[in-house]
Structure formats: structure tokens, C-alpha cells
Structure 1
């Protein structure tokens, strides 16, 4: 049986680049600690292009000052930084107010040294930090993730390399600022946004809403956004998950989603006409997930509208749809009629999955109804709450 020392000796025979790659999976504090292993390891950590300051809790002034000194010493040892993870929690709001200026300096430093991936979480008791706007002019950034921040005070954005943008629990001044942020990402491919709040009401003009173009976008997930988002900006996506009743307004024109193969619609709220209209504009849809409730699992108290079979069958339903999932299924008459409509018309359907909160005894009714697909399995799963 080999000892830890033997394992270290074996690793030490590897090329520097390989060792640095291994160290990049460690927290930066652990990576620095390897410098005591031998002369070979003394400076290797300085060449690791990944900085990980994750799960850091600063609960008093001593831990605060020690952490600040450590971060500054690490940053000054690097000429190139490809990835940076900042996950910091301040137990004291006064420490947070004192510490945020330092965090902004660290972020500005990595922005100026070629960072490509940046993940930020700065939490504090009774204090919400402001988003470091220096990030918005980073020409090298490819992936940006942040949460629980206030985004305001910027006038222009230049993120020419950004492909993935994910943010959660964010407060904007207005919807215009959200669209300005997205407009500054010309090659964005992956967008995930949830729990967005706005200080002022949506006052977007038609021209402002129509001007947003995200023509490289392939994935979008908009859950709990609390804003009227222009669907036209999403029309190139292949995967779309959206709380439709929070984003869509009845006066909007639904664009045709030619590339869309995977669709999740939450907050349907028995708006069957809207649902059919959306399906009509997704000619190549193969997977659809539908929920009466919200993306976080909540179910709103909405009066059911009766389902009426439309006079046409959407192209995706008759020719493309392989999988249909119905979540938060309550067993209402309209839901059953819709499920039967899918089964009667989906010629290549392979699976229908129904998730309900209790045993609704609907198997016999669904299993006995006509099916256009001879290979379709109906799976009913009771989900305990």
C-alpha cells in the first residue's frame, strides 16, 4: 500500500502544466498550502490560472483582515487569471460595507488580467451589495454568474466575448437596464435569469422592446422575472424555459421559434388559448414540459378555463413531439382534456409523464383514450408534498 508521500512523489514527476491543472480544482488556500511540500512545489501554485475563494465566512474583524491580506497577496502573485470564484459571506453588515470596496478592487484586478470566467456571490446580513460595474467593460469575459446584487449606475456595456450569463435574485432600477445589459452581449448563447426585481414599473416603448436582438442565443431560462420580456429576442433558441404568464402580454406577437426543440412553460394558469398559440409557433418542438404552477413549484389560485379542441393541430404536435411532461397536474377537466388531445394527435409521441400531488385515479381514463402513437408510454407519478 502506497503512502501519501509516495503519491506526492508520483505526482511530482508530472509536467508543471498537468500539476497546475490538478491544483486548479482546489480552493486557492489549499493550492497555496502545497508550497510546503518540496522545492519543486514552492512556486507551482503561482502558475495556477484559477482563483477559488469559495464558502468564505467572515464573522469578525480578525478573520476579515486575515482574508483580505491573503487575497491581496495571491492576486499580486499572478500575471494571468482565467477563472475567478468569489463566494463570501459577511456576518456583520458593517464588515460588509468596509469589505465591498476591497472586493471591487479584486474584481477590477482580475478583469484587467484576462479573466474568462467570473462567478460572484457576496452575501451579508441586512446589506445588499451593488454590482461592480467595472465588469461590464471586460473584453475577455466568456462566462459570468452573479446573485443577490443591486445592478444600477451604468450607462454602457461592452462584453464582446460573453457567451454564458446567469444571474439570480437581482434588483434592477428598471427593465431598460436589464435590456441594456443583454444588448451589450452580442454573442450571448446561454441566458439564465430568475427572481428579478425592479424599482420602477415597466415603461418600455414598443421600439425599445423590439430593438433587443440576441441572435446567437441557443438556451434561455427565465423564471420568476417579474417583467414583460420581449419574446422576439428569444426566437433563435433551441432550449427555452419560461414563466409565460409573467413575461407575455396579450398584445405581443409571438415569433416563430424555428430552432426550438425543448420547451418548458410554467405559470400556464389554464390559459389554453395561449398554450396552443405558442405550440403553433414551434414547428420543430420535440420535448415540452408544462406546469400550471411557477418555476419554483408554487401553484397559483386561478379559475380554470375549459379546454376546447382547436380546429387545427400544431405541426410540432402531429409530426415532431416525442416527450410531453405535465407538472403540478391537479386533475381538472381541462387538464384531462388537454392530455387526451395530445395523445390523440401526437403521432410520434414516445412518453407522456404526468406529475400530480396525489393519486388522482386517472390511469383508466387516459389509458383507454385513443392514441395517435402506437409506441407511447403514459407514466403517472404521484409526488408527495
Structure 2
């Protein structure tokens, strides 16, 4: 008879192994043997996934989550709790409300450190207030939720990672109060925030001078709200979609630590771009997407830039001393785009890679090949849409590289 090596491991190791499984598979191990019957009760990581297709699946999922939580010893902590629920039904069924607010309060009471919630339901669920006063949370990932009421105070003293996607918030002030409650925040992702009431709270001096001093990595979609840039000025890695209300007159702080910048939705505001580069003295990697995710057939045929590009009478320090990689995305072959690419090539003395994702302007490569380059090491590559083989290979290489760096 083959020896059962796994069962000879300690309970601690077995529970650690089980923590990598979805909750329904963890619970299923109870039938393996007497040794395994109660191990699932001591796992510190719980992950629940469900696709709700009708009343029956909704009921069974609710019942399962309640049974798992109520079966546990209340003294056993829960370090990580993930809830991923997707509504997938052709009919708009009036499903009973999930009991997730009670589930969240339960795990918060047990010192949860990592909370990841994704609920794509017909009606956007309301977030329990207790989430924003949880002192043990280290990472918080929220997708498809709403806050119904403004709150005067939030407390997230241990939070280092905050992801907010498709969130409805009463006022922009509430968003800033959440950030202010995260004194040790290191990673921030904000995408598609919506306000119930539009205000101009972020323009006051308090928020203009507010800084997340520990922030390292930020990915902010500010296409629809005026995010105070100084809040981010200590970051090393920044991806940002610029709001239409951001303009050349805005205060732009100096990003001394910034080495990677992805700018999108600039809408060909060249003066603003030059000012941003001027305030990033140590930038090494630059991605520019003028049109951003909102590029359409109309933008492909645009004949005029919104601003005329003019080479500035200075060269930003990042170009002359530090810039090594530059990617120009959604490149439509406009005059300003071409002049920008030439300006970078002429002044980036340590540039190693310049890659351009180009729509329909085959002569761009020839024009740029003849442009003077400050760096003898620079390799220029132009990819054309629709993708050719080189484009696909490059995208796969970049995706692989991004994955390795995570």
C-alpha cells in the first residue's frame, strides 16, 4: 500500500496548503479521512467564487458561505477573505440580497488583513461602513460598490494597498477622506469613480497640499475628476489618465522619485506634457498615449492637433540624462506627434528603446529613421495597426516582462 506522505505533514503545513484552494474545495477535503475532517476549520484564507444564474444558485451560495463562517471557531483569525460574485442571467431576476454585509463584518471582527470584494450584480451593493474603520486591513480591493452616505471619519492605519474600481461615492470629499485615513499607503489604483453629488472640494488649499508620503505605485484614472497631483508626488511608478479640467495652469509638483510614467488622455496638450516632463527629473521609462482608451475611428482621421507643437527652449533633465525607454501608443501620425517623437530622439542621450504603435501612417518609420538621434544605442521600432507579427511578438514580450516584474 502506498504511504500517505501528505497526511504525515503537520496541521500547520496542511492548512497552509489548503489556503491556496477555493473555499468549496477546502471544505471538500473533510471527507478524505478522520485526520482531515476538521482541518478546513483552521484555514486562515477563505476565497469564495460564484456565478449566480437563478434563485437556486443564489440560495445555495448564500447558504454555503454562512455555513462555512458559522462552523469556524470564532477565536481563529481570518487573514485573507476574497469574494467574487458574478451575475450571469439573461432574465433580470429579483434575487434575494446576498448576506455579504454580515460576512464582511464577521471577517473584520476576526482581524482580516486582506479583503478583496467583487460583486457584479444587477443592483450595485452598498459597502458596510465597518470596512473603512478596520485597523487590521493591509490591502483592500473593491469592485462594483457604492457608498450611500458621507462619513466624517475613516481609519485605515495599516492599509498599504487600496484598489477602487467602479465605485460610486457621495462626494469627491469622501474619496479624499478615505485617502487621508491611509497614512502608510504604498499602492493605489483608482478607476471609474463616480460621484452622487458633484462638488469642487478638491480645489481647496487643504487638498492641494495633501500628500501620501509613503505612496510608491499609483494608477489613477482622473479622466472625470480633478485629482490633486501633489498627493502623488512621492511615487516611483505612476500611471495616470489626465482629466479634461487639468490644464497648463495647474500646479504640477516635482516628482523627484518618479522613474516610470504612463500618461494617457492628454488630448494633444503639448504644453502640459512638456511641463510634466520638466517636473520629472529622474524619469527613466515613459509611455505616452495621447488619445487613451477613448481612441475612436474619428480620432484616427483627425487632421489637426489641438495645440501646435513647438520645441521648448530647454531640454528637461529626464530627457538629457535618464530616459532609457519610450513608448508612444495610439500614434495617429499627427504633426504634433511626429515632432514630439523627433524631439525625444534628438535630445534623449541615453535612450535605448523607442517603440511606436502607429495607426495607418506607414511613412512614419521612414521619417523618424532619418531623424538625428542623441543616443547611438537607441533602437527605433514602429508597429503598425492592424498588428503585424512583430507587434504581436512585442506585446507578448512586454506582457511577459510585466508579469515577471510583479
Settle same-fold status: TM greater than 0.5. Answer: yes
**What secondary structure, in the 3-state scheme, does the structure 2 residue paired with 1:12 have?**
helix
Q: Alpha-carbon deviation of 1:357? A: 2.5
Contact in 2 for aligned 1:283/1:314 (Cα 8 Å): yes
Q: Alpha-carbon deviation of 1:18? A: 1.9
Q: Alpha-carbon deviation of 1:213? A: 2.2
Contact in 2 for aligned 1:231/1:248 (Cα 8 Å): no
In structure 1, what is the Cα distance between the partners aligned to 2:256 and 2:265? 23
In structure 1, what is the Cα distance between the partners aligned to 2:42 and 2:188? 31
1:57 matched to 2:51: yes
Query: What 5-or-longer segments of structure 1 have no aligned partner?
Result: none
In structure 2, what is the Cα distance between the partners aligned to 1:279 and 1:6? 65
In structure 2, what is the Cα distance between the partners aligned to 1:211 and 1:257? 14
The structure 2 residue matched to 1:71, chosen from 54, 57, 65, is 65
Query: What is the match of residue 376 of structure 2?
Result: 374
RMSD value over aligned CA atoms? 2.0
Query: What 5-or-longer segments of structure 2 have no aligned partner?
Result: 388-406
Contact in 2 for aligned 1:331/1:360 (Cα 8 Å): no
Q: Alpha-carbon deviation of 1:223? A: 2.0
- Residues 275-314 of structure 1: matches in 2 within 5 Å? 275-295=273-293, 301=299, 303-304=304-305, 305-314=307-316
Deviation sequence 1:67-107 (CA, Å, 0-9, x none):
222212211214210000111235566325x32xx210100
Closer, same or farther: CA 320–334 of 1 in aligned 2, 3 Å: same
- Residues 226-237 of structure 1: matches in 2 within 5 Å? 226-237=224-235
- Residues 58-207 of structure 1: matches in 2 within 5 Å? 58-76=52-70, 77-78=72-73, 79-90=76-87, 94-96=94-96, 98-99=97-98, 102-125=99-122, 127-153=123-149, 154-204=151-201, 205-207=203-205
1:13 matched to 2:8: yes
- Residues 301-380 of structure 1: matches in 2 within 5 Å? 301=299, 303-304=304-305, 305-380=307-382
Q: Alpha-carbon deviation of 1:152? A: 3.3
In structure 1, what is the Cα distance between the partners aligned to 2:147 and 2:2? 51
Deviation sequence 1:240-290 (CA, Å, 0-9, x none):
111124462443210000000000000121111110100000000000000
Q: Alpha-carbon deviation of 1:13? A: 2.1
TM-score, normalised to structure 1, is 0.92
Q: Alpha-carbon deviation of 1:299? A: 7.8
In structure 1, what is the Cα distance between the partners aligned to 2:312 and 2:68? 64
TM-score, normalised to structure 2, is 0.87
In structure 2, what is the Cα distance between the partners aligned to 1:299 and 1:322? 32
In structure 2, what is the Cα distance between the partners aligned to 1:152 and 1:212? 25
Deviation sequence 1:171-226 (CA, Å, 0-9, x none):
11221111111111111100001111112223124224225321110111112541
In structure 2, what is the Cα distance between the partners aligned to 1:6 and 1:244? 62
